[in-house]
A and B are shown apart, each in its own frame.
Chain A
Amino acid sequence: MDTSNIKDSRESVVNDLGLPKKPFRTHGGVHVDHMKNTAEFDSEELSTPKRVIVSMQQHIGAACEPIVKKGDKVTVGQLIADSDSFMCAPIHSGVSGEVTAIGTIIMPNGAEIKTIEIESDGEQTVCPDIEPPVVTNADELYSAVRKSGLVGLGGAGFPVSIKLNFSSDKNVDTLIINGAECEPYLTADYREMMESPEDIVEGTRFVMETLGLKRAIIGIEGNKPAAIKKLGEIVRERSLDERMCVLKLGTSYPHGAEKVLIKACTNRAVPVGKIPADAGCVVLNSTSVSFIAKYMRTGMPLVTKRITVDGSAINEPKNVIAPIGTLISDIAEFCGGFRQEPKKVLMGGPMMGTALYTLDYPIIKQNNGLIFMGEKEADDVKPSDCIRCGRCVAACPMLLTPVNIQHFVEKRDVQGLNELCVMSCMECGCCAFSCPARRPLVQYLRMAKSIVKSGR
């Protein structure tokens, strides 16, 4: 192919592939303070923790089963838990040492889950079996990614291998890289973009080409101009800009929500109850795609995670890279302990994160933030009566009507809730955020979904 010809007609090539110059309009959303206090700090590696507790549930889907037992010696990157289930990602050890117990832990949702407790020997001996995978086609990519234990690192923890394993009749043509990071406080993805921009671009190219996709769009919120510039430059330097672009997104929350991101990048809507592949898209987090590039190079499975530690109660907010299973109390200590007693501790960002009941809890793969909120920040105001102002309706990115859903939940009206399409809710929190009466609307939506699922 004559390359000079393509360069001359680049404008039309870009248009043919539908690489957007500006994001498309999205519905609803709210403006949340960004509070990216840790954005300009280099990530710091947490020196090997003395002990890790590895949860068997670090992804959406079936829990893993430990394949090591008490007394076994393990090394960094060694497979320690797996499952035959399709919806699953295997788990590897992040430290070298000895398995001291197969225990259990209560997850924040109340379920009990098995754990593997490993006492570190401090050596960080790397598993001898580790070698870069050979990937030449989509099937090999699927099995390599499954073997790496990668889950969506944006927060939901959906096994990435399944995202890549779409059937060919879906006409998937677009790879979207999620660099929105719209949650307040969180800067883990931003640090990945600043510290390993080449890996993000290389991973994007690799996945796009291996899956045979037409185009890739890296969507980054407009509040990260340095990352947009950096990635854009690399894309141009590598002459990938015919098929790949860096798109500056709006700064309203939740631009990083999968369906909102797809709308902003391609103007497509994921059909209700369907997956991104049904809209012709595969969406990967920027850190996930960077991990894929690193994995192809080194073969080291997902054993560490960068986590933004912030909030009014922590002494030194920073981005910490820690082995999976590190206890939150150890991370708090690494960040200089507490400035004031934490009242609420969140796993994830303040909009969608889970409140933890103990600091004696391990970090998991999809963890991207630990927010320690002090007394004032965690202040929970009691809800008052709904005044039907309609702010929740205007804020909902999925065009739902939370104001009416809450009444149907109180009446346990299954049919009514079905008609209001409550299953479309992604619990982004825009409704409750904007509610002047402080109605716990996300909680109502969760109840609504469980009422619809159970049928009563």
Chain B
Amino acid sequence: MENPSPANPAINTPAMLSVSSSPHRHSGENTAYIMQDVLIALIPAALMSVVYFGWRSALLIGLCTGTCVLTEYICRRIMKRKQTISDFSAAVTGVLLAFNLPPTLNPIFAVLGSVFAIAVVKQMFGGIGMNFVNPALAARIFLLISFPSHMSKWSLPFFYMSSNASTDVVSTATPLAQMSSGKLATSTLDLFIGMHGGCLGETCALALLLGGFYLLLRRVITPHIPLAFIGTVAVIALIAGQNPVAHVLSGGVMLGAIFMATDYTTCPVNKTGRIIYGIGCGVITMTIRLFGALPEGVSYSIVLMNILTPHIEALTQSSPFGSEVKRSGK
């Protein structure tokens, strides 16, 4: 029996072959896996914040995450764009925003901040990968400027267990406020494990470091930015004659260096750029802490460096392999 078909009749020839550009293999990585890894890395710090600050902490984290995801869904729906909530990036923004809020904040402000982060900072600029500053940090700064008194009410860990917790919140000075008033009253160990006042996710350096190691291990982040950021803070503190360990462990340095400054969209893509960016974050943070009117400068430093990112990238653009020869030789 002769088959008129051109291909070999002895094998079952496919009706249609798919063609595409090489490569035809893929590492299997995808955006959702990366964001899930970030969420996993945030779990230790989230747990510690619930331990230290109680149900208010859990409420704020849940509320911010929920609002961020819902806002993203509605925005994409209104703009008639492909849904992106399944990439978990909105959830990451929500958790990070919650981590940057005081534990006793009125939930209405948390909702407001979440809507601002996603609708204004992220989606109005084109969604994932397009925002020019970190949405969570921009939202924190928005809240800080709009409602300064609400945003700087700090409470001690375990305040919810004390007898007068029902009447009002025990307010405390953060270690940074203590430092700028000249007397640090928190021990290094307390700083490390988070036994002090502060934003709900930033206090426990130990938990943040655990998350950071997980991200490094999973190759979600590279060590350049956290090391450059933390290193710069320590060196400047040392030069200024202050306690470098206290500076690194207090305020938002750990949270900022590990989770906020390493946000892909708003940091440089190459190694040199990332180091410069990390140093810049450290310098601005310490400038604000040492000379500014505010006790803390991590949020501002990262947002300012976010804005500089395109310029850092342009300046650190690597020349292609083989171009050095051209320059040095004749």
Contacts and interface: CB of A to CB of B under 8 A. Distances in A.
Contacts of A268: 325
B17 A352 contact: no
B183 interface: no
A404 B273 CA distance: 14
Nearest to A402: B269
Contacts of A357: 17, 19
A355 B265 CA distance: 33
**A-B interface, 9 closest residue pairs, ranked by CB to CB distance from nearest:** A429-B23, A329-B8, A390-B269, A443-B21, A355-B19, A436-B29, A424-B320, A421-B320, A337-B11
Interface string A22-48: 000001001011000000000000000
B324 interface: yes
Interface stretch (A190-198, A225-233, A393-401): A393-401
Given A355-B18, A380-B20, A338 B26 contact: no
Interface in A330-369: 330, 332-333, 337-338, 341-346, 350-360
Interface stretch (A128-136, A172-180, A216-224, A381-389): A381-389
Interface stretch (A201-209, A269-277, A289-297): A269-277
A338 B12 contact: yes
Given A388-B265, A434-B29, A401 B270 contact: yes
Max chain B Cβ within 10 angstroms of own Cβ: one of A353, A384, A427: A384
Interface string A114-157: 00000000000000000000000000000000000000000000
Contacts of A403: 269
B129 A351 contact: no
By size class, the interface of chain A is 35 or more
Nearest to A30: B27
Interface string B210-243: 0000000000001000000000000000000000
B245 to A, nearest CB: 31
A385 B8 contact: no
Interface in B1-52: 6-8, 10-14, 17-27, 29-31, 33-34
Given A355-B18, A403-B269, A434 B27 contact: yes
A279 B329 CA distance: 11
Interface residues of B, number: 50
Nearest to A335: B11
A385 B7 contact: no
B317 interface: yes
A390 B270 contact: yes
Nearest to B310: A404
Contacts of B172: none
B18 A184 contact: no
A412 interface: no
B19 A269 contact: no
7 contacts: A274-B322, A337-B10, A356-B17, A384-B84, A399-B321, A401-B317, A440-B21
Given A333-B11, A432-B23, 9 more contacts: A27-B321, A272-B323, A350-B24, A378-B24, A387-B128, A394-B222, A399-B318, A437-B129, A442-B23
A27 B321 CA distance: 8
Contacts of A381: 26, 30
A421 B317 CA distance: 11
A254 to B, nearest CB: 10
Contact of A433 (B7, B25, B317, B325): B25
B264 interface: yes
Interface string B125-157: 001111000000000000000000000000000
B25 A350 contact: yes
Contact of B87 (A346, A351, A384): A384
Given A329-B7, A337-B12, A384-B31, A355 B321 contact: no
B96 to A, nearest CB: 15
A385 B18 CA distance: 23
A338 B13 CA distance: 9
B10 to A, nearest CB: 5
A73 interface: no
A338 B264 contact: no
B172 to A, nearest CB: 38
Max chain A Cβ within 10 angstroms of own Cβ: one of B21, B222, B271: B21
Contacts, number: 186
B22 to A, nearest CB: 5
Given A270-B322, A271-B326, A356-B17, A332 B25 contact: no
A88 to B, nearest CB: 25
Given A259-B322, A355-B20, A342 B128 contact: no
B163 interface: no
A390 B264 contact: yes
A56 B22 CA distance: 24
A400 B320 CA distance: 6
A399 B323 CA distance: 10
A448 interface: no
Interface of A: 27, 30, 32-33, 108, 184, 259, 263, 268-272, 274, 279, 327, 329-330, 332-333, 337-338, 341-346, 350-360, 371, 373, 378, 380-381, 384-391, 393-394, 397-401, 403-404, 420-421, 424, 427, 429, 432-438, 440, 442-443, 446
Contact of A421 (B25, B130, B319): B319
Contacts of A327: 8
Given A30-B27, A354-B22, A329 B13 contact: yes
Nearest to A440: B21
A345 B17 contact: yes
A393 B7 CA distance: 43
Contacts of A421: 319-320, 323
B26 A438 contact: yes
A32 B309 CA distance: 31
A272 B322 contact: yes
A24 B307 CA distance: 38
B27 A433 contact: yes
A219 B222 CA distance: 31
Nearest to B324: A269
A427 B22 contact: yes
B6 to A, nearest CB: 5
A346 B317 CA distance: 35
A264 to B, nearest CB: 12
Contacts of B22: 350-355, 427, 429, 432, 442
Contact of B17 (A272, A343, A350, A429): A343
A308 B33 CA distance: 34
Nearest to A108: B19
A391 B29 contact: yes
A330 B7 CA distance: 9
A444 B264 CA distance: 21
A108 B18 CA distance: 12
Given A337-B12, A360-B7, A385-B129, A344 B264 contact: no
Contacts of B17: 342-345, 355-359
Given A359-B7, A434-B29, A401 B318 contact: yes
A239 B46 CA distance: 67
Given A389-B34, A433-B26, A434-B29, A271 B322 contact: yes
